[in-house]
Structure 1
Amino acid sequence: MQQAGSAAWEAVAALARQPGAASIRRLLEADPLRARRFGFRAAGLLLDLSRTSLTEKVLAALLELAAARDLAGFRDAMAGGALVNGTEGRAALHMALRAPAGGFRTGGEDASASVQATLNAMAGFVRGVHGGQIRGAGGDRFTDVVNIGIGGSDLGPAMVAQALWRPGQPIRAHYLANVDAHAWEALRLQLDPRRTLVLVASKTFTTQETMANAQLVRGWLAQALGPAAVPQHLAALSTNLAATAAFGIAPERVFGFSEWVGGRFSLWSAVGLSVALACGLEAFAGLLAGAREMDDHFLAAPPGENLPMLLAATEVWHVNGLGYPSRAVLPYDQRLARFAAHLQQLEMESLGKRVTNAGLPVAHATGPVVFGEPGTNAQHSFLQLIHQGTTPVPVDFVLVARPDHGHAASHRILLANALAQAEALARGRTEAEARAEMAKAGLDAAEIDRLAPHRTFPGDRPSTTILLPALTPASLGALIALYEHKVACLGAFWDINPFDQWGVELGKQLAGGILPALEHGSPAKDAATAAMIGEIRRLQEG
């Protein structure tokens, strides 16, 4: 894991090689106040790191590494509008999306001022839709909005809309991402074209999957309402005014965002228009305010109290120190069912890199595999592997103290399960404990001998817990921003660019070359691809 010439990396590695470096149970048993000492608060959130194998000595070494890697300098450069995305020559100013005018600049541009102009235009449009001044071509009020996008133009807003939508809101939000037309066929059955507003979310207005879906939906509107009616049902989240005009979208219905907004960080921009329509302007403003509170904390708090830096340092310990290649995200709140999917893109697209900023091979592991499901579903799915599998998988538990429903007993059961999983992962169950439990249940000695290995849990499986007082727009904004800043910190730790995604671009290029072979039978360059295309065409024609 050592990065060449770095004493700070070696200091962390040396601690990881010590006997018992991964132990958690003994730390918990030795220190009843551990949760207090390893609990950190900001923006209304509690981050509990007590069920990891971090010690004061390990944390100090990680913070020394953070200083050696100049995390604070990278943070300040990002906030200052520097071109931290070196491979694309761009800033990464997503913090400007939730800041007042004058808060952030890049070059000669007041980035926050341009954001405010877009937000004002969005607010006028949302008020028009909610107030009935903006209606469908036949005079009907809009009851549904369909956001057509993919990646960052889908995962973030879809997750937030699901989390924040409450019964009684005037608009239902739907999200169409997969180019598989089965997705559209299932969705259109839920829609009345007279009352459906369609947002096409693509910065360049050339994204293949998005534009294919946009053509399907525009054709559906034209067939149902007539071609002349279609523009009244369309809006765009894009910077390509020529392409949006050619598609039939009026310029006043196009909401743009700058090059310094990366897709997976764009939720707070015009890409969040569907959230504002479905959940209301007040909720969208609260989301931005919560993220801004986490931004302020990230920019001002010292490293030893800085939640994003601490969360990133914990990941370095798990990935690089202890060699854990994956992490599970378990929100114990059904409203956050798509939170793990959002983090999959945010983290794996950002941190799935094998070369440094200088283009040299990295000397250590980088981004882990991120996966997850809401609890308690996950307990009956993959948590068996996390409890007793051969390789530990760190877990992020996300808990909400106060639900929005009145079913107190159900919520107590939910929280009890979450806390039990965290405790079981950390403490495990020794063979002696398993034997004693079976003996108490009346099993005979031979049966106890047979079952003891199966009922023993190794424990020392790390988890972090993030506690929200309630799931509000502000707390959700702070939670998402916490992970965004964690990603930026890991980019600095690992000396990789967390703001580009060339692997995604390669697939797009190859798909463009393969499409003619599927359409017309023209030869494909790759032999295996050509063979599969032949089989596909044979089955389609047969």
Structure 2
Amino acid sequence: MNTTRCDRTPAWAALQAQFETTGRTLDVRDAFAADPQRFGVFSQSAPHIFADLSKNLIDEATQALLLDLARQSGLESHRNAMFAGDKINTTEQRAVMHWLLRTPAQAQRDGLQGLSVELAQVHATLAPMLDYAEQVRLDAAITDVVNIGIGGSDLGPQMAVLALDEYVIPGKRFHFVSNVDGHELAAVLKKVKVESTLFLIASKTFTTIETMTNAHSAKAWFAAQGGTDVARHFAALTTNVAAANAFGISTTFGFWDWVGGRYSVWSAIGLPLAIAIGAQGFKEFLSGAHDMDEHFRTAPLDQNLPVRLGLLDVWYRNFHGFTSRSVAPYHCALKRYPAYLQQLEMESNGKRVDASGEAVPFSTSPVVWGEPGTNGQHAYFQMLHQGTDVVPVEFVAVKTAKHSLPGHQTLLLANVLAQAQALMLGKADAGGHKHFPGNRPSTFLLLDELSPASLGALIALQEHRVFVSGSLWGINSFDQWGVELGKVLAKDVEARLLSGHTEGLDGSTAGLLARLQA
């Protein structure tokens, strides 16, 4: 693998010059007026998704330089190393192979032969997991499934189950508990009954403090309510089979150290989704993601959607200086999609040093945030249209609705089209208060329908997009050391809350601890 940090390439300097001469002042309205073919140049189809990038602050010269930046940084080499199973997670010396989780068992291609053992392991785990999911689906006595996990063990399956609500089996309810705040678990336990609930404990090591605290509380509630058959009502998604057995769990499904938590919905962590939409639906979910994997792996860079999105992120973050990106899915079932992307991008690329440990002299991950439309229009879109900061927006729309209510889908689509149009066009007002500056960039992702396959493709698209920007920045997108320090300190503070000892603490923490104990 031969890679070069993006700021050390000739293309980086050329992009700086491009930004100063034309990029800084590019007006998309003028660009459309000058080029009737702009929509065709800056839009494309990818598996299950159509993308319109034409409202973004780029022209063909900028796009060409960004593609040069990708080539000179060794993006293709880095991508190929990931798909070859190389240990590109250098700080943990691990391969990065979440893509293998959605690779068909019969797949044959160059470079995959060396991973035949790993692929066989994937399907040796997937088959019994899907069999178990079908058993739960057929078990009318189980009406509630409670997933207890945190981070990737919660955000992925929760987002996907909500997104595919139209495909969820009738007669079963799905609950997700992640927060160590007992109010969350207590609220769920009020809704369920011992004899009809299945608890899924999702923790790779079976030691995650928040998850295990919730798991032990759920088990204690189960016993207090007269439950006796822990083996029937609890299953574990973990590699620590011994710890799960000690807990009383006999049904376990594991995964591997080359699967990062935020990339794990395709693994046993996806069991809640498999129960919800069935084995065939889960296979379609994997298939849609695999289609996007192959697009990312094989498509030319100039027609490679994850590459184009990732390059746009670099252009906005490092040249325009935009600090955030707003995600606006115009489908209420995608309500947890922005939260899912927050972890995916900010945990992956929220790094201040490159893969060699050297501080980077440029900005990395933007802040990712958002809410479903049209709700967001009546909340924060005021700032998007007239605020002092320019925030690129990524709209997600679905062409065909699953419901039959007349008029709703037409109104929803009219709103998403109009918001993207208004951000670009703006509106002049001499008085100022009703002035919309316009020329505010947006990307438009369109799905024909929200299905298991299209959702799988959408998530995989975002995974690879994050890989692209992280690769150019030269950072390791697959570790997350930043989450560790607070966890370590929390153990000390927890003991101090019980003992009252404040010796050696900073003044603020000592003062707050004393007030909490008063």
TM interval, short-chain normalised = over 0.9
Counterparts of 1:84 and 1:532 in 2: how far apart (Å)? 42
Counterparts of 1:416 and 1:4 in 2: how far apart (Å)? 41
One-letter amino acid of the structure 1 residue matched with residue 305 of structure 2: L
One-letter amino acid of the structure 2 residue matched with residue 310 of structure 1: R
Q: Does 1:35 align with 2:39?
A: yes
Taking a change above 3 Å as real, the CA distance of residues 94 and 524 of structure 1, as seen in their structure-2 partners, is: farther
Deviation, structure 1 residue 4:
5.0
Deviation, structure 1 residue 477:
0.4
Question: Equivalent residue for 2:291?
Answer: 293
One-letter amino acid of the structure 2 residue matched with residue 223 of structure 1: A
8 A Cα contact 2:260 2:478, kept in partner: yes
Alignment counterpart, residue 98 of structure 1, candidates 94, 98, 102: 102
Q: Does 1:80 align with 2:80?
A: no
Question: Equivalent residue for 1:208?
Answer: 209
Taking a change above 3 Å as real, the CA distance of residues 131 and 493 of structure 1, as seen in their structure-2 partners, is: same
In the TM superposition, what whole-angstrom CA distance separates every residue of 1:304-339 from its partner, at most 9, and x where no partner exists?
000100010111111112110100000000010100
In the TM superposition, what whole-angstrom CA distance separates every residue of 1:181-205 from its partner, at most 9, and x where no partner exists?
1111211122122110000000011
TM norm structure 1: 0.91
Counterparts of 2:198 and 2:417 in 1: how far apart (Å)? 42
Question: Equivalent residue for 2:126?
Answer: 119
Question: Equivalent residue for 2:255?
Answer: 257
Residue correspondence of structure 1 range 394-433 to structure 2 within 5 A: 394-430=392-428
Counterparts of 2:503 and 2:482 in 1: how far apart (Å)? 21
Alignment counterpart, residue 347 of structure 2, candidates 343, 346, 349: 349
Residue correspondence of structure 1 range 277-356 to structure 2 within 5 A: 277-356=275-354
In the TM superposition, what whole-angstrom CA distance separates every residue of 1:141-183 from its partner, at most 9, and x where no partner exists?
1111100000000001000000112365342211000110111
Deviation, structure 1 residue 32:
2.9
Taking a change above 3 Å as real, the CA distance of residues 488 and 102 of structure 1, as seen in their structure-2 partners, is: farther
8 A Cα contact 2:136 2:142, kept in partner: yes
8 A Cα contact 1:105 1:111, kept in partner: no
Give the greater-gyration-radius structure (CA).
1
Task: Between 95-104 and 507-516, report the one with greater CA deviation.
Answer: 95-104
Note the residue ranges of structure 1 that are not aligned, 5 or more in a row: 133-139, 436-451
Taking a change above 3 Å as real, the CA distance of residues 74 and 5 of structure 1, as seen in their structure-2 partners, is: closer
Counterparts of 1:90 and 1:130 in 2: how far apart (Å)? 35
Counterparts of 2:13 and 2:160 in 1: how far apart (Å)? 41
Question: Equivalent residue for 2:514?
Answer: 534
Counterparts of 1:265 and 1:359 in 2: how far apart (Å)? 24
Counterparts of 1:119 and 1:320 in 2: how far apart (Å)? 41
* % same residue: 46
In the TM superposition, what whole-angstrom CA distance separates every residue of 1:50-87 from its partner, at most 9, and x where no partner exists?
00011110000000000011111111000111011000
Q: Does 1:368 align with 2:366?
A: yes
Q: Does 1:461 align with 2:459?
A: no
One-letter amino acid of the structure 2 residue matched with residue 513 of structure 1: D
Give the secondary structure class of the aligned counterpart of 1:482: helix
In the TM superposition, what whole-angstrom CA distance separates every residue of 1:391-442 from its partner, at most 9, and x where no partner exists?
1000000000001011241111111111111011111112xxx35xxxxxxx
Q: Does 1:25 align with 2:29?
A: yes
8 A Cα contact 1:81 1:106, kept in partner: no
Deviation, structure 1 residue 109:
6.3
Residue correspondence of structure 1 range 213-252 to structure 2 within 5 A: 213-226=214-227, 228-250=228-250
Deviation, structure 1 residue 108:
6.6
Deviation, structure 1 residue 130:
2.1
Residue correspondence of structure 1 range 464-503 to structure 2 within 5 A: 464-503=443-482
Give the secondary structure class of the aligned counterpart of 1:273: helix
Counterparts of 1:254 and 1:428 in 2: how far apart (Å)? 55
Residue correspondence of structure 1 range 40-51 to structure 2 within 5 A: 40-51=44-55
Question: Equivalent residue for 1:64?
Answer: 68
Note the residue ranges of structure 2 that are not aligned, 5 or more in a row: none
Taking a change above 3 Å as real, the CA distance of residues 482 and 505 of structure 1, as seen in their structure-2 partners, is: same
Q: Does 1:153 align with 2:153?
A: yes
Taking a change above 3 Å as real, the CA distance of residues 170 and 327 of structure 1, as seen in their structure-2 partners, is: same
One-letter amino acid of the structure 2 residue matched with residue 519 of structure 1: L
Counterparts of 2:331 and 2:242 in 1: how far apart (Å)? 43
Taking a change above 3 Å as real, the CA distance of residues 13 and 408 of structure 1, as seen in their structure-2 partners, is: farther
Deviation, structure 1 residue 3:
5.4
Aligned pairs, number: 508
Deviation, structure 1 residue 531:
1.5
Deviation, structure 1 residue 16:
1.4
**Aligned-pair RMSD on alpha carbons?**
1.6
Deviation, structure 1 residue 102:
6.4
TM norm structure 2: 0.95
Taking a change above 3 Å as real, the CA distance of residues 105 and 111 of structure 1, as seen in their structure-2 partners, is: farther
Taking a change above 3 Å as real, the CA distance of residues 106 and 381 of structure 1, as seen in their structure-2 partners, is: farther
Question: Equivalent residue for 1:276?
Answer: 274
